[in-house]
Amino acid sequence: MSQNFQFKDLGLSPYKKVWDYQTILFNTLLEEKACGEQGQNRLLFCEHPHVFTIGKSGDLNNLLIDKHILSQKKIEYYHIDRGGDITYHGPGQLVAYPIFNLDSFGIGTREYVYRLEELIIASMKEFGIECSRLEGAAGIWIDSDIPAKSRKICAIGVRSSRRVTMHGLALNVNTDLSYFNYINPCGFTDRGVTSMQKELGMRVDFEKVKATVLKYFQVFFV
């Protein structure tokens, strides 16, 4: 295990509970940094029950159903303090929350996001899935060079203050993609979403995906 962060797998956990936990760790790390201490970097993995989250500059019009239907379908909804627009979290999706002091890695926010992207690209390659960045669109995409076919497999949305991070990435593994029909994912109306299961035509070993993504966090954040 990399000594530059502590890892914790929270399993299936409610969004608000994990958000509150992240916030405590984030504020603690900021306070430690203000006191001249490096503090403890942490990496959280989890899945969430069905929930939509929208970033601080997101457009509410990208939520395509009203609150009554949200309640009926037992989907939670939160307006949160990360960048980006609206996205979906649910069972079968691997969510990773790094609460990192970027100074401990000698990098800034741009390089941090680049490394998040790189570790997902490397992880997917191990499962035979080729993906890449898409100019002007956050996250990791398949067929990014073919607009009519481009589809997102991993969303990325982070918050950074004084080079301390929270929020992170959401990788669709065995995700029920029908929930994305209720939103314009990340504000896009002309691009699709996908999952490892859809691309490979079979359910994927979730524990193997977690182990692979963790391995590449250890490679890219040392």
Q: For residue 127, what is the enclosing H or E element? A: none
**Residue 86, pLDDT score:** 86
**Residue 57, pLDDT score:** 77
The residues annotated with a catalytic role in the active site are 186
**Residue 186, pLDDT score:** 56
Residue pLDDT, tens place only, 94-114: 999 999 999 999 999 999 999
42-67 in b/e form (b: 16+ CB < 10 A) is bbbbbbbebbbbbbeebeeebbeeee
**Residue 99, pLDDT score:** 98
**Residue 1, pLDDT score:** 37
125 pLDDT band, cuts 50/70/90, is: very high
**Residue 2, pLDDT score:** 43
**Residue 7, pLDDT score:** 97
83 pLDDT band, cuts 50/70/90, is: confident
- Sign of the CA dihedral 91, 22, 52, 215? negative
160 pLDDT band, cuts 50/70/90, is: very high
Higher pLDDT, 4 or 142: 142
The whole-model pTM stands at 0.93
Which residues fall within 8 angstroms of residue 59, CB to CB, at 6 or more apart? Answer: 85, 86, 187
Q: Do residues 174 and 92 make contact, with C-beta atoms less than 8 angstroms apart?
A: yes
Higher pLDDT, 39 or 186: 39
**Residue 66, pLDDT score:** 87
Residue pLDDT, tens place only, 21-56: 999 999 999 999 999 998 999 999 999 999 999 888
2-13 in b/e form (b: 16+ CB < 10 A) is bebbebeeeeeb
Burial of 211 (0-12, 13-18, 19+ CB in 10 A): exposed
Q: Structural domains in the chain?
A: 6-220 (3.30.930.10)
| Residue 37 to residues 40, 214, 218, Cα–Cα distance (Å) | 9, 26, 22
pLDDT of 187 higher than 70: no
Share of the chain above pLDDT 70, in %: 96
What is the average pLDDT value for the chain, to the nearest integer?
A: 92
CA 213 – CA 22 distance, rounded (Å): 19
